[in-house]
Copies of this chain bind each other. A is one copy, B any other.
Amino acid sequence: MAKALDPELRSSPGLSPANWAIISLIILSIVTGILETEESLVHANGWMFSAAEMVLFCVFFVEYVLRIWSSVENPRHASRWAYARTPASILDLVTLFAIGASLLGPEGFLLRLARLLRLLRLSRLGRFTAAWQTLARALANRGYELGMSVALAVLMVLISSSLLYLIEGALQPEAFGSIPRAMWWSIATLTTVGYGDVVPLTAWGRLVGAVAAIAGVGLIAMPAGIIAGAVSEVIQQRRRDAMPGAIKDDDGER
């Protein structure tokens, strides 16, 4: 049974059918939790949400008990109590409580938010682990240049928001009355998001805004190029590993 639940004990690569089912249910529970925040949906289909939460609670409760029970089959865990204290197991318990709490009353949002943490655990399971590590390593190798981009970005946010504060601070106190306020406009412009809820109105303010918009195009090109390079490295790495006859120094999990 432990082989069905613990990816580390499984001989063949990929996830076991049991784990695929649990992942599907985790995703279902997240989708349910998200939809439940929309009152118009809950109002119309209240009993469906209640039933779904009830079923999910029972399944996750059984899963939790089974995981603890079978944990000793993995030599890494000294005892069931030792496994129960691992972060992964505590996270399971927390999310179990979260679902239970949402069954009792509609105020359990903060607890329900905890279920989102499960998504992070998902990403550590099975297939994606090796790829994420390759990407993280590729980005770490470029940490120096990413740092340069961040430094340049911070500098440009500071300069553009300071200038807008100086130019339009008196005219639009709500939007540019202080540098932290002006930063909202500044970041929206430099990332080319451009909400438009706050815009410079004077000629000088618009001149600074136009320069910031153009600088933003160059600014986002730096991290974009670095990340694209890191991703392409990950792709080449995977191809090398996938080639027959290649020396594999990985855990073969991918």
Contacts and interface: CB of A to CB of B under 8 A. Distances in A.
A235 B227 contact: no
A254 to B, nearest CB: 8
Contact of A188 (B155, B197, B213, B222): B213
Interface residues of A, number: 72
A50 interface: no
Interface string A188-232: 110111111101000100100110011011101111111111011
A62 B113 CA distance: 50
Interface stretch (A14-22, A88-96, A100-108, A173-181): A173-181
Interface stretch (A34-42, A51-59, A68-76): A34-42
Main secondary structure of the interface of A (DSSP, over half): helix
B213 A221 contact: no
A234 interface: yes
Interface string A137-178: 000011011001001010100110010011000000000011
Contact of A159 (B116, B165, B183, B238): B116
Interface of A: 30, 34-35, 37-39, 109-110, 113, 116, 119-120, 123, 128, 131-132, 135, 141-142, 144-145, 148, 151, 153, 155, 158-159, 162, 165-166, 177-181, 183-184, 187-189, 191-197, 199, 203, 206, 209-210, 213-214, 216-218, 220-229, 231-232, 234-235, 238
Q: Which 5 residue pairs of A and B lie closest in terms of their CB atoms, listed nearest first?
A: A225-B228, A195-B196, A193-B194, A38-B178, A221-B224
